[in-house]
Amino acid sequence: MALNVDTVYKTVLLIMNKEQRGYVTPDEFNKIATQVQLQIFENYFEDYTQQLRVPQNTSEYSERLKELDNKISIFKTTATGTQLTYVAADPAYFLGPTTNNPSTMPPGLSQTDVYKLGTVYYTPSVGYDIECQRIQKNDFLQINKSPLTRPTESFPQYLWEQERIIIYPQSINQVNAITISYIRKPQNVVWGYTQSGNAYIYNPSASTWPELDATEQVNFILKILMYMGIIINDPLIIQAAAQESQKIEVNAKS
């Protein structure tokens, strides 16, 4: 279950106003909440790698790797058919689904929704799936020299460069024959509103909830408060929020 953006925003307002530290506008909240969501999201993968190095318990509800995988699973998806775009360049390549958040991409790169690419499948006309082998550029140069190791439609390979899926042999150019599994990027957080005078009124239809797991609510709010403390230049709220957030992270990793 995702976090309720209205609950989060009103909690932040309550804490800030109770301490008479000023008002948080919706636009300020949306920008900070989007940044915090991205920060927590990216930490999942570092934490997952770290947990692979330590012994795990077998309890059904407290296994750390399982908990992290549950949080990441929100962003796991697949794409096929018209969701992929075939670009007949030299070399030709496929693009993943277009992101609804182009501001997260630097200029000059494809605006795709793929954060981490998983598996690429090729389905020829006979109807069975063939997993494409991911290779590096230097490996491909060596593999392509010999007819015995050169990629074929029975043993396809691909490069993943600048968010482009370059499949070899290049005769594989049917979009409907390609399927990818991937982890998508989180959407921007939006507390949508209508304005009546100086009052902001919550508008659910114009809002986008944080896509984090419900267990992240406390940590999410604390990190937002920490950024708010930086904006209003209040060391006390920065310190208090940072300490509580650090406790949560230490408990989650220890």
Tens-binned pLDDT, residue by residue, of the chain (254 aa): 679 999 999 998 888 776 555 678 899 999 999 999 999 999 999 888 888 777 766 666 667 888 889 999 999 999 988 889 889 988 999 988 876 555 555 555 557 889 999 999 999 877 688 999 999 988 888 888 888 888 999 999 999 988 899 999 999 988 788 999 999 989 999 999 998 888 899 999 999 999 999 999 999 999 998 888 777 766 666 676 667 667 666 565 55
Answer yes or no: do 195 and 235 share one domain. yes
35, two tokens: 């940044």
Answer yes or no: do 82 and 68 share one domain. no
Closest CA to 134 of 153, 114, 149, 119: 119
Looking at 184, 202, 228, which one is the last position of a domain?
A: 184
Put simply, whether the predicted model's pTM sits higher than 0.75 gets the answer yes
How many CB atoms sit inside 10 A of residue 225's CB? 25
What residue numbers bound the domain in which 122 lies? 77-184
Q: How many domains does the chain have?
A: 2
Looking at 184, 204, 231, which one is the last position of a domain?
A: 184
Answer yes or no: do 245 and 198 share one domain. yes
For residues 36, 39, 40, 45, the Cα torsion angle rounded to the nearest 10 degrees is 170
